[in-house]
Amino acid sequence: MARSSSGIVAGLTVAAIAGVSFLAYQASASVPDTLGKADKSATPKASASKTPGGTTNPNALPTASGTGERVVYATANDRVWLVAANNKVQRTFEVTPGTVDPVAGTYAVTTRANAVTGSDGVQIEHVVRFTTVDGIAIGFSAALNGSTTAPDPAKKLGGIRESRKDGDAMWNFATVGVKVVVVQ
């Protein structure tokens, strides 16, 4: 009897996830074009540290990114850092952002999914979500086909694409509850 109850619960769970995904996709299609876009007229904030010689190093961890274990995502230069509890960078890599950016701030990983279909229709893996912007889920993922091409600007997409290798590193590092710091 427990076995058939589990099957029913699993089936209902799959149906619920499919329904929510469909509704999220529909909602994303009606979002205004300007939502989530950075104000191009605003003065950009520095997102890279200065090296001793005074040159900007785009790979340097942003100084205003907090402390402790965290994922740091710089929207200005589309780069991620995985930072250990001792504040040492374990890995840094470039990403391809979606069309909707999260606002600067501190978040936490809320949900993860091993493999799903992205809102752009691409099969993705190692999905690590940390916020939503007007109903659009924002998170990191890797396309199973390895693609990191820029998304269709006409669509409202919150997926931040990384290579499969970087996606594996993110998946192993960013468990539910891990801090995500978004900086400009």
Amino acid 159 reads G
The per-residue pLDDT for range 16-68, each reduced to its tens digit, is 565 555 444 444 444 444 444 444 333 333 333 333 333 467 789 998 999 99
Chain Cα centroid distance, residue 80: 9
Q: How many helices (H) and strands (E) does the chain have?
A: 2, 9
Domain that includes residue 142, residue range: 2-32+64-183
Instruction: Find the CATH number of the domain harbouring 177.
Output: 2.40.440.10
The per-residue pLDDT for range 106-158, each reduced to its tens digit, is 999 999 999 999 988 899 999 999 999 999 999 999 999 998 889 999 999 99
Whether 174 is in a domain gets the answer yes
Q: How many CB atoms lie within 10 A of CB 120?
A: 18
* Per-residue confidence (pLDDT) for residue 109, from 0 to 100: 98
* Per-residue confidence (pLDDT) for residue 23, from 0 to 100: 47
pTM above 0.85, yes or no: no
Whether 69 is in a domain gets the answer yes
Which two three-digit tokens encode residue 29? 């299609």
Amino acid 102 reads P
Structural domains counted in the chain: 1
